[in-house]
Structure 1
């Protein structure tokens, strides 16, 4: 990750939900699972692992949940107006959120340290050399 000045502001597409990221994420990952491909409408989705005390949200969000392959619940918060997803979380782990970091104003910190679910990766996408990979969930 590049050096960034915190806090970094972020928002959904319409601006109804805004937030401030107060500290660097623990890690940024690129997930290639089919669910993340659907979410991002691309080859993968980026996720920044953030301690919930290091982020402050404002604005109305709705929630959607689904069971994950692990047996956990994957919950998502999104803007009630534009539908843009802001983050995911496991209700059993409230201190950790999975921020959808393309919503940040400064995306220079987005350098994935790991690519996961590469077993479902699109054949045409080439993972950069030297980056850690996992065929499924680590």
Structure 2
């Protein structure tokens, strides 16, 4: 079963012809923190040649730590980040896992953390006082 997903407004959809991501990671790099507006970005890495994206995607490119470009794809309608595509690893693309279809993302099991050099010191795996919903 392919991995499928979409942006917030559903103008951008995608499908990766794989059963599972090659890697599911908490990406702590500073750029992912800024793009997600959060402490990290959950990414699902897939082979680029297995991914099909449909809809109005825009790209912003910046320089990664390798010195090569990292292309960040997002919906031009709602701004949802869809993926980042590093020139340093041209065979893969990192989908923003929060955009996967709900039933698929519920089955994800992050297996690593990347760019932990940028991990914020207050990030912990389990916090003492979780809330199911806000406010509670």
**TM value normalised by structure 2:** 0.80
Q: Displacement, 1:112?
A: 1.6
Alignment size in residue pairs: 123
Which residue pairs with 1:107 in the alignment?
A: 105
Shift of residue 31, structure 1, vs aligned partner: 1.3
Question: Which structure 2 segments of 5+ residues have no match?
Answer: 127-136
Partner of 1:136: none
Partner of 1:42: 38
Deviations 1:64-123 (A, max 9, x none): 000111111111111111111111112465432111111011202432211122222222
Q: Secondary structure at the match of 1:38?
A: helix
Aligned residue in 1 for 2:12: 17
Gaps of 5+ in 1: 1-5, 129-138
Please report the RMSD computed on the Cα atoms of aligned residues, expressed in angstroms: 1.8
Could you tell me how far apart the structure 2 residues matched to 1:72 and 1:112 are?
26
